[in-house]
Structure 1
Amino acid sequence: MTSLSRRHLLQSATALVALSAVPMAVEAAAPVKVKPVASTDLRWLDGTPAAFEGATLGVPWPRGTVKPAKGKVADFKLGDVPVQSWPLAYWPDGSLKWTAHAVPAGTKPAGLPLTQGKASAPAKAVSIKQEATAVTVTCGELVWVVPTSGEHLIATATRAGRLTLKEMKLVALWQNEPDLDATGSVSQQSFASKVTKVTVEQTGPVRAVIKIEGVHSGNGRDWLPFSVRLYFYAGSESVRIVHSFIYDGDPFKDFIRGLGVTAKTPMTEETHNRHVRLTGDGVGVWGEAVRPLTGLRRPVGKGLGLAQVEGKAVAVADMAKPVQDGLKWIPEWGDFTLSQLTPDGYTIKKRTRSGHAWIDSNAGTRTKGLAYVGGASGGVALGFKDFWQRSPTQLDVRNAHTEMAEITAWLWSPDAPAMDVRPYRSADGMDTHPEEIEGLNITYEDYEKGWDIATGVARTSELNLWVLGATPSHQAFSDMAEQVANPARLVLSPERIHQCGVFGDWDVANSSTPARKILEDRLTYQIDYYMKEVDQRRWYGFWTYGDVMHTYDHERHMWRYDIGGYAWDNSELSTDLWIWYTYLRTGRADVFKFAEAMTRQTGEVDVYHLGRFKGFGTRHGVQPWSDSSKQPRVSNAAYRRIFYYLTADERVGDLMRDLNESDFSLKNVDISRKLPPSPERETPEGVVNSSFGTSWGSFISAWLTEWERTGDTKWRDRIVNGMTTIGKLKRRWFASSAPYDLKTGKFLGEGDYVAISHLNGVFGVVEMSSELLSLIDEPLYRKAWLEYCRYYNAPNDELKALLGRVPSGRNLRDAHSRLTAYAAFHEKDKALALRAWSEFFGSEGRESDGGLKRRTQRIDGPAVLRPLDEDPSLSTNGTAQWGLAAIQNLALIGDSLDEAAKSAGIL
């Protein structure tokens, strides 16, 4: 049964009042000295856009500075520009930590300060009317009708009373075989969206949001569950669509031949006044009429051909008499297709109608992915972000010569081979755990039959749908395409974000001293190198765009894309965090886009959203899902929360919330199942073994985020239970793991053993501990964490004095220098700070070992597929952890850097 409801976080003033009154525990690690922040001036991420369809951003506030009165809503204003505001997160004292702000289309908010006060109202506000069968959204002269059941996501859209769009729905094409090789024939079936739930999340006046949930249905089968959000901004002619689906089929039987969004538009003008627009390379536009008037044997009349090209109405009476008489003999072109089957090439073709041959029109390399069909009185434009990056993709216009044209954006092109998510390999005799471990020792792949499955992974795409009152000019269409490919974003400066004390230990990029410049230059070199590698290595594709590779093979000048656990990185050693902290420090638009693509990839494709692995992600492998190691260290909310707070993105908010009970998946997945049995791992019902860093450190990121978002102290208490019980163990953090009570979140047992894992500290728990200890005063955990930070890299004699022996497992010394730096900072120990820098500059073969000045070398000729710039010394694990260590060390002990650099011979 369809339900209409409002989310408790993001919708109306009533919900905001309720949330602002939620009690939160007032506690802090230490008295907080609140400093005044600079003016909250908004800026464009990537320059002033030619067209602006509205945007939303998140804004942090220092603890205690913005406190809504009980039962009141904190109002914000943005000069004369209307703004809609709501809370995203709270500090423990109940003051606002993050707020979200939406601004309408067609405005110029950049440069204006955001301050507390009453906001201006939009001239034409967005409004919503909810009824049992439909939700109606009114935005100026546009009226959108969203049904609450059936197959259509949008039933109709009218502009100034004219029906311009109807029957927007999702479509999927199923195929029983990937190709003809197996049987010589294939069967295909069509599926369409079936709506099961509609939720109004925001009602305006600047932004309205509707969430639609359902499945793809047809032939008696429901599959491919989806969620779609529709975003309406005041002043906009478009709706932003965030489309997410989960693959829940059998990879050996269910092959997706096409996956798309389709809609219809009435065609009322003469066919020579009907137009199709498609994006070309760069700012280019391909535009033609259904019945062209140019290039005829007889001239159509002065200026009329150019008018048609520009999309203007041409009257028959104004045409030259021979053309009037012969108009009916000019073919009408009804069908058009732009197909981008690779990241390096697209083609455009057209035909008169079904049953006739396709005619090649043009081709190019990379297009932004927008199509339009309509006439002088209006039409529809539809396209989606990352069009060529996620190839194979396609845009279709069908039946433009009839009374009802259809436009489709194919997220997976039906012109391409069917989507194949079968495992890339067989067991090949690897039938027991000992044999699997032997294989792991050769290829670094943790293989296990049946665990290399794609069932349960997801993908999110972002589309834009315009309902227009006329055919857009080539320039206007080009500007729209840029908005699709590179949505205009509003952001804050790094300095303004940093002043609020969010996201732990980092500072703004600063090259003010000689040693700082060396590190900043190296950090820049590394991020630039990886962003260039995305294109140089063609790291594109529907299931892989946004990720990077794990390890390089210098002998064949390739990343190890086909070697077990060395291929796709899948967030290994916190690559996501390295890139996001780089953006926070620099404010660079290209870094933001790099991090955004990774967040969409690793939070969707690398994580299971249903089934026995739900809540866990997959370790690095040849396919995003191919490794049998399913762990929370990959699904980690720490890798999503920065993007969420900067953008208020609801889909990422859903993903993090879905992880709140992911610790219970430890019942389904025994992470240590391939290790020799031991009494310590035998646990009673409701108790599982959990590591402190790779597992619990991932769970707490989701709980912290939920506590901040809702004020529900259930999640804070669960965090504290873990912190306290770790602190009570005899060996505290040096126990590495312990039995874990799923009901309470407490660790059990004496913890009187020593077991160090270098992985415990490199999957976000360092960042989470820094944040938690600034929010929660838990002395036992603080002591345990500072002890671990001081002694992990300590000299052997010091560690032996603490633990009674020197345990193995202390790898990644330079990465863990930031733990030493944390202890040095909080214990005000300069000698320890210098030790941290010596660890950072030490000789583990990473960046500091003579690598600070290494650069790329040009490789060309027959040794490589194409000329490339190569740095074989870089590995993603080392780069990410070195970068994070450099960033945190600079923030904590940067005042001792130059002295340490001189001692190390760096200066």
Structure 2
Amino acid sequence: MKLTPFSRRGFLQTTATASLASSLPVSQAATANLPGAATPVADTQLRWLDGQAPARFEGATFGVPWPRGQVRSAAKALDFKLGTHPIQSWPLAYWPDGSLKWTAHALAGGVPAGELKLESGKPAAGGLTVKQTATQIIISAGDLSWTVPTGGEALIAEATRAGRVTLKNMRLVALRQDGAEPELDGKTARQAFSSKVNTVTVEQQGPVRAVLKLDGTHTSNGRDWLPFSVRLYFYAGAESVRIVHTFVFDGEPAKDFIAGLGVTAQVPMTNATHDRHIRFSGEGVGVWGEAVRPITGLRRDPGKAYRDAQIAGQALPPLSGMAKTVQDGLKWIPEWSDFSLSQHGADGFTLKKRTAPGHAWIDSNSGGRSKGLVYAGGAAGGVVLGFKDFWQRAPVRLDVRGAAGDMADVTAWLYSPSAPAMDMRSYRSAGEMDTHAEEIEGLNITYEDYEAGWDTSVGVARTSELQLWVLAATPSHQTFSDMAEQVANPARPVLTPQRLHAAAVFGDWDVVDTRTPARKLIEDRMTVQLDQYLKEIEQHRWYGFWHYGDVMHAYDADRHMWRYDIGGYAWDNSELSTDLWLWYSYLRTGRADVFKMAEAMTRHTGEVDVYHLGRFKGFGTRHGVQHWSDSSKQPRVSNAAYRRIYFYLTADERCGDLIRELLESDADIDKVDISRKLPKDPSREPAPGQPNASFGTTWGSWIAAWLTEWERTGDKRWRDKLVNGMQSIGDLKRRWFAGGAPYDAKTGKFAGPGDHVSISHLNGVFGVIEMSSELLTLVDVPAYRKAWLEYCRYYNAPRTELTTLLGKDPGKLNLADTGSRMTAYAAFHEGDRALALRAWREFFSSSALKGDGRIRRIAGVNVLRPLDEQSGISTNGSAQWGLAAIQNLALVGDSLDEAAKAAGLVP
């Protein structure tokens, strides 16, 4: 157990500086021929994501992009201010010329007054301090002080408020069960695990924000299980700490069942039991609040002043003023010690309490969806604990135990012990497919690629976000309700789409524009599709601990159900770039509901659909009935492009971890042979150490991680790896039309003559189109530019043109509407209007604008509940059509009206 010293990189991030001096000219060589090329910005106005200032704000961090060349690095701290509100700023990414591309900003707690305008200038003081010793780290702000040990069981040893110890021994807990739930007369045993912290890293310390990262495992009787990483976020002006909790499943699925997973803390209870209070968030803004020893509803009335004080959570007036009959009878009123709110599923919770262990639970109330917050304490202070996406992640639970004693335990169960134990086994029977021929037969009928041992859940992860308050008194119902809203919908300062677009980041996209009939037609169709997926989450209850954030892949109109049980048609797992569709939709619309859906997807797909340890580390799993059930493990799912936009918008450290995890994953491509079941061409067998890799689904999925690392650190090793890959593709005889080639992970280069032709529609649908658009503005590789423009021009070209180019007929190509954006890219960069019109014709070949998006109401006995059905819905089609629409509008929008009229889509 050791204290990891504050890293030099972290120090530079906190203290390196820049100044918003006069705007510098943008590099014309790289950006002159770009849609929406960066221009200097004079105004950086922020807004609240949900449209209005929150009732409560506990601090937040956000990213801001800058046009190339505008913000130059200097030798002092980053000087940004936001009115009189304390703010802390640091570099997040750089342009190739060394100017700042992204800055991150931490805003102190307390709702800022006036407009949210980020400007050059000296920030207001924050007042947060961090003191380190060999055994502990103390974070202080105002009258709050948090003590974090550098090792051991506790994540937070204690927290004091105005000198009073209000919280003790916050730690992690897990319950292991040795078998599945007994179905008849079977028996299972449970074993309790507690956190063991191995290392603590102070990742950031400053006057407004401090971040501590704690790494360890859950331990019990000498066994370490479920490695975890927990970050603690402290903000000046806040009464709380934000907790980001990640664990990785590393057990044996048939033996190690997770029966509970939680965060727990102790609360000293020093007030008389009639002045001790419990609060739970209910439905909507609702609050359930009761005292440990209630004095309302008695046979004898204690008096209005006493009743009002207890309902408000305040200390009762002196008991000497109370009617003597009530004074004498207080001792006979039961003291309720234990309380529990259990959210069994997305649609219902129950609330109960009991006087002590060994006695019956008494039902109190029930409801639909709780926001997931609990308080335990008294007039002298207490603790509030809750977590985001509470009912969406059900089964979950909030507990208070021992409230009538000297020390209460408050626990947020991220997975409820009341539910059946978490089952991480495969849904298939062992030996179901014993031969390769049978595996292919199964794939042909269910579309799921099964192979024994490749459907393991070992190595998947899950991240949860919690909030912990230390208060000086019991909160009022209104205050507690505001806290619950802050947990369920964290207040977030964001930029407008116009301000994001002005910085020319993330490639080819533009802000929503409905000024012409043709644009309105496309924009309305994109809105319909986004709205439908938001509705599908609710209609089909895509909720649950492992599921929330993902969507389904394909629809079964006969059953009026998504194909949740049909092999590769079930969970989507980022196919085909659903994550990017949502993030680009947010960039251009600024819609809060789209942001939240994309955020949940990023939290899911980057953790659950990707392996973080074991033989498949760094690879993701193709779509299947379970998130890990398909045997195709590919970088196209672990793709950093799907996390990158969220990382830059929020400066989220966990998301940054996920991107860095992938930096060396190309070295393992030969260990997880993606093409192992496909027929082999002996003439194309690679040399040892140089496995074949496709340009799109494989190399195209690595480059986002390398680009992000180069941008974050300036380390040219990653730039060189990018350039090596680009140059070597351009040097091949068939260039991009070779589809793939032998790959050397040490250099990032492709080898061989590349004289064959291999065209796959999948090569362009996992982010490589978006990433190539960005790369070609950042590095100058003429051979790759030529190769990419050639591929973009000819992928959808008439068969005769493509046959002439390649010397052979490549056969039928799929996804013409998706490929239209490549045509549009070539049209824009080559100034070819005829090609632009061809791009629109290709795009219009989809049925999306011709009635396929019609929605009808289905009700009655044929469905579980009434639903609005779009029978032709497909996530592949929705994501790729949406991405094509976005890029086409940005690149060749000036020819849209002409093309739409020619196609008869508008008058």
TM-score, normalised to structure 1, is: 0.97
Alignment match of 1:484 (pick from 482, 487, 500): 487
Query: Is the alpha carbon distance of 1:182 and 1:200 closer, same or farther for their aligned partners in structure 2, counting shifts above 3 Å?
Result: farther
Amino acid at match of 2:180: P
CA contact (8 A) 2:226 2:247 kept: yes
The answer to which of 84-93 and 807-816 deviates more is 807-816
Q: Shift of residue 427 of structure 1?
A: 4.7
Task: Give me the whole-angstrom Cα distance separating, in 2, the residues matched to 1:166 and 1:85.
Answer: 32
Equivalent of 2:582 in 555, 579, 582: 579
Contact 2:31–2:38 (8 Å) recurs in 1: no
Q: Aligned pair count?
A: 895
SS at match of 1:667: coil
Q: Does 1:36 align with 2:27?
A: no
Asked whether the equivalents of residues 336 and 354 of structure 2 are also in contact (C-alpha less than 8 Å), the reply is yes
- Contact 1:41–1:110 under 8 Å retained in 2: no
Distance 1:141 1:375, change over 3 A: same
Q: Distance in 1 between matches of 2:207 and 2:479?
A: 26
Q: How far, CA to CA, are the matches of 2:754 and 2:682 in structure 1?
A: 14
The answer on 1:721 being equivalent to 2:724 is: yes
What is the DSSP-based 3-state SS (H/G/I as helix, E as strand, rest coil) of the residue aligned with 1:231?
strand
Match of 1:23 in 2: none
CA distance in 1, matches of 2:754, 2:310: 79
Shift of 1:662: 1.0
Q: How far off its partner does 1:15 sit? A: 5.3
Equivalence for 2:203:
201
* CA distance, structure 2, for counterparts of residue 895 and residue 360 of structure 1: 65
Structure-2 change in CA distance of 1:183 and 1:217 (3 Å): farther
* Alignment equivalent of 2:133, drawn from 131, 134, 148: 131
The equivalent of 2:413 in structure 1 is 410
State the distance in 1 between where 2:194 and 2:803 align.
65
Q: Secondary structure at the match of 1:690?
A: strand
* Residue 75 (structure 1) aligns with: 79
Q: Which amino acid aligns with 1:326?
A: G
Using the alignment, how far apart are the partners of 2:412 and 2:130 within structure 1?
27
CA distance in structure 1 between the aligned counterparts of 2:17 and 2:501, rounded to whole angstroms: 28
Comparing 464-473 with 74-83, which one deviates more in the overlay?
74-83
Contact 2:449 2:630 in 1 (8 A): yes
Correspondence for 1:45 among 46, 49, 54: 49
- Distance, in Å, in 2 between the alignment partners of 1:121 and 1:429 is 65
Q: 2:691 aligns with which of 688, 697, 700?
A: 688
SS at match of 1:753: coil
Q: Which residue of 2 aligns with 1:895?
A: 894
Per-residue CA shift, 1:416-446, capped at 9, x if unaligned?
A: 0000111111255411222111111100001
1:14-41: CA deviations, max 9, x gaps?
Answer: 6536999xxxxx9963558752224101
State whether residues 14 and 89 of structure 2, in contact with CA within 8 Å, keep that contact through their aligned partners in structure 1.
Answer: no
Query: Where do 1:651-662 residues align within 5 Å?
Result: 651-662=654-665
* Matching of residues 98-109 of structure 1 within 5 Å: 98-108=102-112
Counterpart Cα distance in 2 of 1:639 and 1:30: 24
In the alignment, residue 231 of structure 1 is paired with which amino acid?
A: Y
Deviation of 1:855 (Å) = 2.3
Distance 1:12 1:276 in 2: 44
* Code of the aligned partner of 1:6: F
Question: In the alignment, which residue of structure 2 is the partner of 1:827?
Answer: 830
Worse-matched range after superposition: 800-809 or 622-631: 800-809
1:853-873 Cα distance to aligned partner (Å, 9 max, x none): x32101011000111110011
Match of 2:516 in 1: 513
Q: For 2:867, give the aligned amino acid.
A: L
- Once the two structures are TM-superposed, the CA of residue 9 in structure 1 deviates from its matched residue by 4.2
CA distance, structure 2, for counterparts of residue 553 and residue 712 of structure 1: 49
Does 2:371 match 1:374? no
Corresponding residue for 1:212?
Answer: 214
Work out the CA distance in 1 between the residues paired with 2:854 and 2:38: 43
Contact 1:78 1:109 in 2 (8 A): no
Offset at residue 180 of structure 1 (A): 1.3
1:252 to 232, 244, 254: 254
Q: Which moved more, 1:543-552 or 1:423-432?
A: 423-432
1:678-701 deviations in Å (ceiling 9; x for gaps): 325533332111000000001000
Amino acid at match of 2:725: G
Deviation at 1:318, TM superposition (A): 2.7
**Which residue of structure 2 lines up, in the alignment, with residue 55 of structure 1?**
60
For 1:461-494, what per-residue CA distance to the aligned partner results, in whole angstroms no more than 9, with x for missing partners? 0000000000000000000000000000000000
Q: Does 1:736 align with 2:743?
A: no
- AA of the residue aligned to 2:2: T
Which residue of 2 is the match for residue 904 of structure 1?
903
Indicate whether 1:6 and 2:6 are aligned: yes
Instruction: Summarize deviations over 1:827-847 as a string: whole Å, max 9, x none.
Output: 0000000000000001x5x41
Which of 567, 571, 591 aligns to 2:570? It is 567
| Distance in structure 1 (CA, Å) of the matches to 2:667 and 2:184 | 41
What residue identity is the alignment partner of 2:897? D
Q: 1:97 maps to what in 2?
A: 101
Residues 547 and 570, structure 1, Cα contact 8 Å, conserved in 2 = yes
Closer/same/farther in 2, CA of residues 663 and 849 from structure 1, 3 Å limit = farther
Task: Give the deviation of 1:319 after TM superposition.
Answer: 1.9
User: C-alpha distance in 2, partners of 1:429/1:466?
Assistant: 51
Aligned to 1:311: 313
Partner of residue 235, structure 1? 237
Letter of the 2:55 partner, please give it.
Answer: A
Matched with 1:422 is 425
Distance 1:11 1:160 in 2: 30
Partner of 1:118: 122
CA contact 2:295–2:307 (8 Å) conserved in 1: yes
Pick one of 38, 63, 69 that aligns with 1:64: 69
- Tell me the secondary structure at the aligned position of residue 459 of structure 2: coil
Retained in 1: the 8 A contact 2:522–2:849? no
Aligned partner of 2:842 in structure 1 is 839
- The question of whether the paired residues in 1 share the 8 Å contact of 2:19 and 2:73 is answered with no
**Aligned residue number for residue 871 of structure 1:** 870
Equivalent residue for 1:797, pick from 779, 795, 800: 800
Distance 1:375 1:680, change over 3 A: farther
SS at match of 2:885: helix
Instruction: Give the equivalent residue in structure 1 for 2:440.
Output: 437
1:770 is aligned to: 773
Per-residue CA deviations over 1:326-357 (Å, capped at 9, x if unaligned) read 11111100000000010000000000000100
Using the alignment, how far apart are the partners of 1:135 and 1:530 within structure 2? 45
Preserved CA contact (<8 Å) 2:15 2:78: no
Q: Give 1:230 deviation, angstroms.
A: 0.5
Cα-to-partner distance string for 1:122-155 (whole Å, 9 max, x where unaligned):
3xx1110011000110011011000001000000
Q: Give 3-state SS (helix, strand or coil) of 2:62's partner.
A: strand
The runs of 5 or more residues in structure 2 that have no matched partner are 21-26
Matched position secondary structure for 2:646: helix
Secondary structure of the equivalent of 2:669? helix
**Equivalent residues in 2 for 1:276-287 (5 A)?**
276-287=278-289
Q: Distance in 1 between matches of 2:695 and 2:28?
A: 24
Q: Shift in Å at residue 77 of structure 1?
A: 1.3
CA deviation profile, 1:691-736 (whole Å, cap 9, x unmatched): 0000000100000000000000000000000000000000000000
User: Post-superposition shift, 1:5?
Assistant: 2.1
Give, in whole Å, the separation in 2 of the partners of 1:12 and 1:404: 42
Structure 2: how far apart are the matches of 1:73 and 1:781? Answer: 39
Q: SS where residue 389 of structure 1 aligns?
A: helix
Q: Deviations over 1:772-826 (max 9, x none)?
A: 0000010000000000000000001110110011213621000110000000000
Partners of 2:76 and 2:737 in 1: CA distance: 47
| 1:147-166 equivalences in 2 (<5 Å) | 147-166=149-168
Tell me the secondary structure at the aligned position of residue 578 of structure 1.
helix
- How far, CA to CA, are the matches of 1:790 and 1:629 in structure 2? 31
Aligned to 1:687, the other structure's residue is in SS state: coil
Structure 2 CA distance, aligned partners of 1:696 and 1:660? Answer: 12
The whole-number CA distance in structure 2 between the counterparts of 1:887 and 1:231 is 36
Distance in 1 of aligned mates of 2:529 and 2:320: 65
Structure 2 residue 820 is matched with structure 1 residue 817? yes
CA contact 1:42–1:109 (8 Å) conserved in 2: no
Output the CA distance in 2 between the equivalents of 1:133 and 1:681.
59
Structure 1 residue 322 corresponds to structure 2 residue 325: yes
